[in-house]
Structure 1
Amino acid sequence: HRSTVGALLASQLGWKFYDADDYHPEENRMKMGKGIPLNDQDRIPWLCNLHGILLREVASGQRVVLACSALKKMYRDILIRGSDGAPQTCDESSKEEKLPEVKLFVVHLSGSSEVISGRLLKRKGHFMPPDLLLSQFNTLEPPSAPENFIQVSVDQELSEIITTILEMLKVQ
């Protein structure tokens, strides 16, 4: 649903669309395929890579819609700041210069696990088994102030979801 909404939104806005799932390394896909939830170590390099893509696009003047299960605030911070958004893995206190940031506006598609699992079960050929959904719900940290976000319920027609998001983007 995330990808469907993202792709439609991008085409309405005339922006470029990226699906974060396409950028998972093979080992992450294999893990998910076996029903093993990803951990921070699995996700951080993937998110850093996505940050690099966003930064490159934005620097060239391109606006982007990214469909991504950025479940935690830390993950969204990495999309904005790259590895600077991650907990310090090594001593980086010597880095004085401010690294470029991505201006991120989060559209949080919210819905009950019942609604979302019902949709997942209908999907064919996706590498994520529905059982992994529960671990995602358990990991979820919904965006909150001061994050730049809106929350949109998925329990409505696709066209309504898109209209709501476009209206919200206008006032940004």
Structure 2
Amino acid sequence: MILIAMGVSGAGKTRIGELLAERLHCEFTDGDAFHSAANKEKMHKGIPLTDEDRWPWLRTIRAAIEAKQRAGETAVFTCSSLKRSYRDILRDGDKDVIFVYLEGSEALLRERLNSRTGHFFDPSLLKSQLDTLEVPGPDEAIEVSISLTPEQIVDEVLKQLETR
């Protein structure tokens, strides 16, 4: 099984991904690590990424997912996965890839981004991400509100995984 914590910047993908991996006793990989230097520089400057910027990044994450699957490993990844077409690349028709959509209000997300330090993402890009976001339906992802504590979010994800 591969879990992908998804959502816009500020949703807590890294924290939730780390906690899920800890609870599942598996490896955690942050999708941001697969971004090119050029992508990181654009985001740092407040320039939204285009689909052309994202396609190589998404294919690289998919290759990492396939490597975990070939090794027979469970793993947790993070990736914003804003559009269904992005999720389709990451999933590639594979039912063992499960998305966890971390949903939150714009106000809460902005508050989190404005208090964050040391990250390459320019908080001014939140609006662009929210405009790009195609909210996944229940057929596509487990949805959990980020208004819960990280531990409650992980508990809810694991509970929903049991019923899938």
Using the size of structure 2 for normalisation, the TM-score is 0.89
Q: Do structure 1's residue 31 and structure 2's residue 42 form an aligned pair?
A: yes
Give the counterpart of 1:152 among 135, 140, 144: 144
Q: Provide the aligned C-alpha RMSD in A.
A: 1.3
**Structure 2 residues without counterparts, runs of 5 or longer:** 1-11
What's the CA shift for 1:12? 0.5
Contact 1:48 1:78 in 2 (8 A): yes
- The residue that corresponds to 1:90 in the other structure is none
Does the CA contact (< 8 Å) of 1:54 and 1:102 recur in 2? no
- The residue identity in structure 2 corresponding to 1:170 is E
SS in 2 for 1:142: coil
The TM-score with structure 1 as length reference comes to: 0.85
Question: Which residue of the partner structure matches residue 8 of structure 1?
Answer: 19
SS of equivalent residue, structure 1 residue 108:
strand
Q: Secondary structure at the match of 2:49?
A: coil
Instruction: Say yes or no: does 1:120 pair with 2:130.
Output: no
Q: State how far apart, in whole Å, the 2-side matches of 1:5 and 1:145 are.
A: 19
Per chain length, whose mean CA-contact separation is higher, i.e. which structure has more relative contact order (CA < 8 Å, sep 6+)? 2
After the TM superposition, which segments of 4 or more aligned residues of structure 1 sit over 4 Å from their partners? none
Q: Structure 1: how far apart are the matches of 2:148 and 2:138? A: 25
Q: Secondary structure of the equivalent of 1:105?
A: strand
Per the TM alignment, residue 5 of structure 1 is displaced from its structure 2 partner at its CA by: 0.4
Structure 1 equivalent of residue 97 of structure 2: 104
Where in structure 1 are there 5+ consecutive unaligned residues? Answer: 82-99
CA contact (8 A) 1:58 1:102 kept: no
| Number of residue equivalences | 153
Q: 1:101 to 1:151 in 2, by over 3 A?
A: closer
Q: What CA distance in whole angstroms lies between the structure 2 residues aligned with 1:28 and 1:102?
A: 29
After superposition, the Cα gap between the structure-2 partners of 1:22 and 1:132, relative to the gap in structure 1 and judged at 3 Å, is same
Name the SS for the 2:119 alignment partner: coil
Distance 2:121 2:59 in 1: 21
Q: Which has the higher strand share?
A: 2
- The AA in structure 2 aligned to 1:143 is P
User: Partners of 1:168 and 1:113 in 2: how far apart?
Assistant: 25
Quote the offset at 1:146 in angstroms.
3.7
